[in-house]
Amino acid sequence: MLTRENVLTKSSFNDVNGYNFKELPNIPKINLRGNPDDKDFIINVEKILNTLLPIEANSSSSSSKLKIIWLGPNEWLIEIYEINDFEKIFSDLNNFLNPKNTAVTDVTENRTILKLNGLYLYKLLAKFMVIDLDKVLYKESSVAQTIFIKVPVLIIRNHKENQHQSVYLHANRSHAQYIIDILIDGSQNINF
């Protein structure tokens, strides 16, 4: 797998009016589709990933090596933290799951991940979305699929209860700089 460059003009924007924005460009991702009612599918996936497959809507599960994100009743996104683990996991999913009932796709280049954090991050994001992040991301394992202005995004909560708000925002690579520019501009006139 090739290491690609960030799409942002800078790799990170630190302390922008109390917020930090950073791109995480080299996280391999796999889209997995299968039937959650098929016990063999669930058992094999959990054995390969060594992690429970989240079947609750808008949730995730993780281990020290990866995160599995629920995208729909029969679809998950797997983020793999180490590039070296990607090839084995991708190969094992393809080799040990029934190809007639499942789909395993490398989607690493499809989207980039923006790490956003700050004390009132949800308030900043609310300026550009019609979703109540306090309600939707109430649990540490929560995720949400929504629209940032006109851009579809996936948001994953990335903070513990007593920490500053932090999320991973998945967006098309071509929209990443646009989103960051809007957030930087919006952070200048936010009322606490």
Domains of the chain: 12-25+110-187 (3.30.1360.120), 29-106 (3.30.70.1520)
pLDDT under 50 in the chain at which residues? none
Strand partners, 145: 154
pLDDT in tens, 132-161: 999 999 999 999 999 999 999 999 999 998
Q: CA triplet 139, 141, 143: central angle to 5 degrees?
A: 95
Comparing CA positions, the residue from 95, 113, 112 lying closest to residue 104 is: 95
Task: Give the global pTM.
Answer: 0.91
Strand order in the sheet with 19-24: 12-16, 19-24, 111-118, 165-172, 151-157, 143-148
